[in-house]
Amino acid sequence: MDLLFLPKTVEKHPGFITRTAYRTFVHTEATIRYGGFYYIGKNAAHIEKLVGVYKRGYASEGLENVKTELLRSLHQEGNLLPEAILCEAKFDYSSIRQFHQFLRKHPILSSIPFILDASGLNERELDLYKANTRPDEIIFLQNLDDKCLKLKIQFLRKVKSAVSSAPAAHIEENVVINKFSIGPLSKRAFDVLVSSIALLILSPLFLLLAVAIRIESRGPIFYIAQRAGKGYRIFNFYKFRTMHQDADKRIAELTHLNQYNAETSGPVFFKINNDPRITRIGSLLRNTSLDELPQLFNVFLGHMSLVGNRPLPLYEAATLTTDNYAARFMAPAGITGLWQVKKRGNKDMSVEERINMDIDYATKCSFATDLWIIANTPSALLQKENV
């Protein structure tokens, strides 16, 4: 059963109309518009919660006809697309994965966040859905208040729309993107060749560093965290662990030491000189940049490139979704990059200066620039400060 909730009827209770009425309702403008939600599942309480947040939405009990309805709405004059698609984690993995792949491959529907509602799952089930479905986000809908839910969806929409809308926005932007796209296969081939050779040659060093890390402090060998790369793509980022366990949980208590002195609003980066969370072997690894070596796995897997803009923690990427800053995410994530070569170890570098260099690379990069950065990276590896 597919239902649409109209704004005039939600003050007391949701109102239902048929798919035919839905098509009539959206047939009002000549351009694509976004509004409301699309919920896939049977949880009436969650649907009512979404109606309270968005005032209008579309609900379907199964995945079977959702593709058809989205395409039908898309190809109508004055179509209305949902701001987000939320799906209960009650369907089989392959069905959810196939539906998400359908969205990702579509030039317009790919901009709509696909969110998995994991309400009711235990920890083991949650891990299985994470591993087998790969949605844009996983939430526990019943635990999110209305404001947090809307802010989260707004952020995901900015993330998803940044790449989808950029090519059609301005002629100048098209020129930039086309310039950046010259020889992508050559760049990828170069990344795969260099990373595979480097991993093979450096494997004994990997083993020695792993033993040293494990001897000094308890915890995993690798630090694995989610980062945002090109087009805000989120991936698992690998480094050798240089801090004591649970270091991320101490960020709040150390904010006053932040080198970037970030304001409460606007772009936020976090870095501390002589960070007390760093271990002794971690300090050595950071000062020689050996902690970065596991990112060769990211390069080999296609998450990153040898040269690009640094992939950002999600809390930093969340502050860089405005039109002024999103351009930095046009470039691939990289192990080394422009600001690392020009300003590495410079504690006086401002947030704006770092972002501007990222944007410069994204808009002017070429294979020749990459080779220049690679050539100048060795001299920048030995830092004078512990960062």
The CB-side HSE value for 225 (13 A sphere, CA atoms) comes to 14
- pLDDT at residue 303, rounded to an integer: 92
Alpha-carbon span 135 to 120, nearest angstrom: 17
Collapsing DSSP states into helix, strand and coil, what is residue 285? helix
- pLDDT at residue 20, rounded to an integer: 40
- pLDDT at residue 271, rounded to an integer: 61
Collapsing DSSP states into helix, strand and coil, what is residue 362? helix
Q: Edge to edge, what strands does the sheet with 57-60 contain?
A: 16-17, 2-5, 57-60, 37-40, 84-88, 114-117, 137-139
- pLDDT at residue 192, rounded to an integer: 94
Alpha-carbon span 51 to 135, nearest angstrom: 22
Alpha-carbon span 332 to 188, nearest angstrom: 11
Q: Cβ contacts of residue 92 below 8 Å, gap of 6+?
A: none
- pLDDT at residue 298, rounded to an integer: 95
- pLDDT at residue 287, rounded to an integer: 83
Rg, Å, the chain Cα set: 23
Instruction: Locate 191 and state its tokens.
Output: 């990344």
Collapsing DSSP states into helix, strand and coil, what is residue 278? strand
CA–centroid distance for 348 within its chain:
28
Please state the CATH superfamily assignment of the domain spanning residues 2-167 in this structure: Response regulator (3.40.50.2300)
Q: What is the full per-residue pLDDT of the chain (387 aa) written as tens digits?
A: 445 544 433 333 333 333 443 343 333 334 677 888 999 998 889 998 998 888 888 888 888 888 888 888 777 656 678 989 999 998 999 899 889 888 888 888 888 889 999 888 888 888 888 878 878 888 888 888 888 888 788 877 776 665 454 433 332 333 333 333 445 678 889 999 999 999 999 999 999 999 999 998 888 999 998 898 888 788 899 999 988 776 655 555 555 555 555 544 445 555 666 677 788 898 889 888 899 999 999 999 999 999 999 998 887 777 776 656 777 888 889 999 888 887 665 556 677 788 888 888 887 777 888 888 888 888 766 544 443
Give start-end residues of each CATH 3.40.50.2300 domain in the chain: 2-167
- pLDDT at residue 161, rounded to an integer: 67
